[in-house]
A and B are shown apart, each in its own frame.
Chain A
Amino acid sequence: MRVEYINPFVEAAFNILKEVLQTEVNREELYLKKSTQPVMGVAAIVGLAGDVEGRVLIDMSKETAMKVASTMNGEELNTIDELVKATITELANMITAQAVTKLHELGFKFDLTPPAIMTGDNMQVSDLNVEALIVPLGLPQGKIEINVAIKERVGA
C-alpha cells in the first residue's frame, strides 16, 4: 500500500481532533500490519470504492471513546450509548470528509460509505491481499489509531 493514501487521513484526523478537542495531538510512528490484527473496542469504519478501494478504521478503546465524546459534548458520558456512538460517527465523518477532499484534489476518484460503528471486546479485522498502515495519535483522552488498508483497483 502506498503511504500517500494514509497521509491525508492522518493529517485530517490531526486537524479535526485538535479543533474539536482543543488539545495537542501527538503523531506517533507509522507501522504496518499484515492480514489479521486486533481492534481496540470502538471502531468507526468507512469503506472506499472507485479508482482505489479498501477501508479506513478509526480505532480506539471504549474509555477513549467515552472521554473523546465527553469532551465533544461538554458533559460526562460514562457508557457507550447512542450519543457516544453518534459523536464518534460524526468525528469519523469530519475526518474522512477532509481527507477525501484532499485525495480528490490529488486526482483519486472514489466514493465513500457512511461510517459504521463497531463496538465489542476481542475484535479483529482481516484484510485480504492488502496490508494495513497504522498511525497512532496520542491525546490526553487516550490513543486513537488511524488504520488504513487501501489498494488500487485492478484495471483502474
Chain B
Amino acid sequence: MKTTSDFPSINERVPEGVTNDGKPIRVMIVDDSMFVTKQISQILSSEGFDIVATAADGAEGVEKYKELYPEVDLVTMDITMPRMDGVTALEKIIEFDKNANVVMVSALGKQDLVKKSLMLGAKNYIVKPLDRKKVLERVLSSIK
C-alpha cells in the first residue's frame, strides 16, 4: 500500500498499472487502428500503466519488441493487421522471449485464431468492442 502523506484521502487507492514496488507496468500496443490504439492507451494510462511503444502492424511490433527488450512488460496484439498478422507476430515474439506477456485483441468470430494464439503462448485475449473493465481484467490477469 502507498503510504499516506499529510492529507490522506479516503478515495486513495493504488492504481492497477503499477507494480508492488511502485513502478509502472510498461506496455506496447500493436494495432493497425488508430482508434483502438487510442482506446487501449487511454484505459491503461488512466490506471498508471506506461505506454512505451505502439506499432501499426505485426512486423513493426516484433521489431520494436526486440529493440526495447527487456523494457516491455506487456504487449497487446491485434489479430487482423496488414503486412504481418498478430498470430505470426506473437509467434516471433515468443520465439525471441519465451516469457513475453502478450494479450491478443480480437474481433468476434476469430475463435480459431484466439485458440491458436493461446496455444502458442499468448497469456490471454480480449474480444472487441473493448471496455475499461474488460481490458483491465484481462491485462492484469496476464501479468499476475
Q: How close is A31's CB to chain B, nearest CB, in angstroms?
A: 28
B:4-49 near A, CB below 8 Å: 33-36, 38-39, 42
Contact B109 A97, beta carbon cutoff 8 Å: yes
Q: How close is B93's CB to chain A, nearest CB, in angstroms?
A: 24
Partner of B109, one of A16, A86, A89, A98: A98
**0/1 per residue, B54-80, Cβ < 8 Å to A?**
000000000000000000000000001
Knowing A101-B108, A101-B109, say if A94 contacts B34 (CB, 8 Å): no
Q: What chain B residues lie within 8 Å of A93 (beta carbons)? A: 33, 107, 128
Q: How close is A102's CB to chain B, nearest CB, in angstroms?
A: 9
Contact A104 B107, beta carbon cutoff 8 Å: no
Judge whether A90 is part of the interface by a CB distance below 8 angstroms. Answer: yes
Contact A94 B107, beta carbon cutoff 8 Å: yes
Bound complex: CA of A104 vs CA of B108, how far in Å?
12
Q: How close is B136's CB to chain A, nearest CB, in angstroms?
A: 16
Contact A83 B38, beta carbon cutoff 8 Å: yes
Determine the residue in chain B with the shortest Cβ distance to A22.
B131
Q: How close is B108's CB to chain A, nearest CB, in angstroms?
A: 5
Number of interface residues of B (CB under 8 A): 15
Knowing A16-B129, A19-B129, A94-B129, say if A89 contacts B33 (CB, 8 Å): yes
Determine the residue in chain B with the shortest Cβ distance to A89.
B33
Q: How close is B76's CB to chain A, nearest CB, in angstroms?
A: 15
Knowing A83-B38, A86-B35, A90-B35, say if A20 contacts B129 (CB, 8 Å): yes
Determine the residue in chain B with the shortest Cβ distance to A15.
B129
A:92-139 near B, CB below 8 Å: 93-94, 97-98, 100-101, 104, 114
**0/1 per residue, B89-114, Cβ < 8 Å to A?**
00000000000000000011110000
Q: How close is A120's CB to chain B, nearest CB, in angstroms?
A: 21
Number of interface residues of A (CB under 8 A): 20
Determine the residue in chain B with the shortest Cβ distance to A100.
B109
Determine the residue in chain A with the shortest Cβ distance to B34.
A86
Judge whether A52 is part of the interface by a CB distance below 8 angstroms. Answer: no
Partner of B35, one of A19, A73, A104: A73
Bound complex: CA of A98 vs CA of B42, how far in Å?
25
Q: How close is B58's CB to chain A, nearest CB, in angstroms?
A: 15
Q: What chain B residues lie within 8 Å of A86 (beta carbons)? A: 33-35
Q: What chain B residues lie within 8 Å of A87 (beta carbons)? A: 35
Q: Would you list 18 pairs from A and B whose C-beta atoms are within 8 A, ordered by A residue?
A: A16-B129, A19-B129, A20-B129, A73-B38, A83-B34, A83-B35, A86-B34, A86-B35, A87-B35, A89-B33, A93-B33, A93-B107, A93-B128, A97-B109, A97-B110, A101-B109, A104-B109, A114-B80
List residues of B whose CB falls within 8 A of some A CB: 33-36, 38-39, 42, 80, 107-110, 128-129, 131
